Amino acid sequence: MIQAVMFDLDGTLLDRDRSLLQFVDEQFERLIKPNNEVDKDSYISRFVALDSRGYVWKDIVYQELIREFELRLDWNMLLDDYKKGFSNHAVSFPNMIELLVSLKDKGYKLAMITNGFGDFQASNIHALKIARYFDEILISEREGLRKPDPAIFLRATEKLNVEPAACVYVGDHPVNDITASKATGMRGIWKEDTYYTESFEYDAKVKDLIEIGHILEQWKSRG
């Protein structure tokens, strides 16, 4: 019997791709365009490529952008602007709130496990207005652990006082989210992302978050 549902943040609840595009577009208009002759589409495309879905530190991204586009700007200033301003553009995937409300109403314990810097991820969670739905939120920097380390998943189960077998983890990354959570004994629901093409095992997959509730009901009916 599933008692707890755990979620990743970026790419699962937070539509990071869309959020990033909105932020980079706004930052370009405000800071890059006024003092630099740079093609906007080329700049944004290169930013997204260098960012590598958030797996490359932004100091490296900005330093490389300044070098390639010969920007007359300080990368530290751009990085600080990113840290302070990204959350203003944070947007969720459809049906996020509806799902969280439904799960809480049905009595599930909810947790979030996300890699990233504490203040930065906390500001994104605040921007999405979802902290109140979660019983526990674990951010890697604050926990001193990062996915796919199984210890961070097990720490979440301890905080919720549930066994791993009574938990399901929802995430978009095949290794960091699904394979890692399943290795602890949890079930894994993959938030499908066509970016990842490798083969891996999952217990279910969804395109829309609202489907998660239906899957949990099916599992419950099967005992």
Same domain, 10 and 95: yes
- Secondary structure (3-state) at 210: coil
Higher pLDDT, 198 or 164: 164
CA 87 to chain centre: 13
Same domain, 100 and 48: no
Same domain, 109 and 80: no
Domain limits for position 81: 16-89
Query: Which pLDDT does position 222 carry in this prediction?
Result: 84
Q: Are 99 and 213 in contact (CB under 8 A)?
A: yes
- Which CATH number is 127's domain given? 3.40.50.1000
Mean per-residue pLDDT, 33-60 = 95
Query: Which pLDDT does position 195 carry in this prediction?
Result: 83
Query: Which pLDDT does position 194 carry in this prediction?
Result: 84
Structure tokens at 113: 């496990």
Name the domain boundary from 89, 124, 148.
Answer: 89
State the Cα–Cα distance between residues 57 and 86, nearest whole angstrom.
14
State the Cα–Cα distance between residues 71 and 68, nearest whole angstrom.
8
| Percent of all residues in the chain with a pLDDT value above 90, rounded to a whole number | 95
- State yes or no: pLDDT of 50 exceeds 80: yes
Name the domain boundary from 89, 121, 140.
Answer: 89
Same domain, 158 and 199: yes
- Secondary structure (3-state) at 1: coil
Same domain, 75 and 176: no
- State yes or no: pLDDT of 223 exceeds 70: no
Element housing 111 (H / E): strand 109-114
- Number of structural domains in the chain: 2
Q: Which residues pair with 139 in a beta bridge?
A: 114
CB atoms within 10 A of CB 144: 10
User: Tens digit of pLDDT for each residue in 87-128?
Assistant: 999 999 999 999 999 999 999 999 999 999 999 999 999 999
Using alpha carbons, select from 129, 63, 67, 60 the residue that is nearest to residue 92: 129
Same domain, 100 and 84: no
Same domain, 122 and 212: yes
Structure tokens at 44: 């944004």
- State yes or no: pLDDT of 198 exceeds 90: no
Name the domain boundary from 39, 72, 89.
Answer: 89
Q: Which residues, in sequence order, are CB contacts of 208 under 8 Å at separation 6+?
A: 93, 94, 95
Same domain, 28 and 107: no
Same domain, 11 and 31: no
State the Cα–Cα distance between residues 29 and 165, nearest whole angstrom.
49
Same domain, 123 and 213: yes
- Secondary structure (3-state) at 204: strand
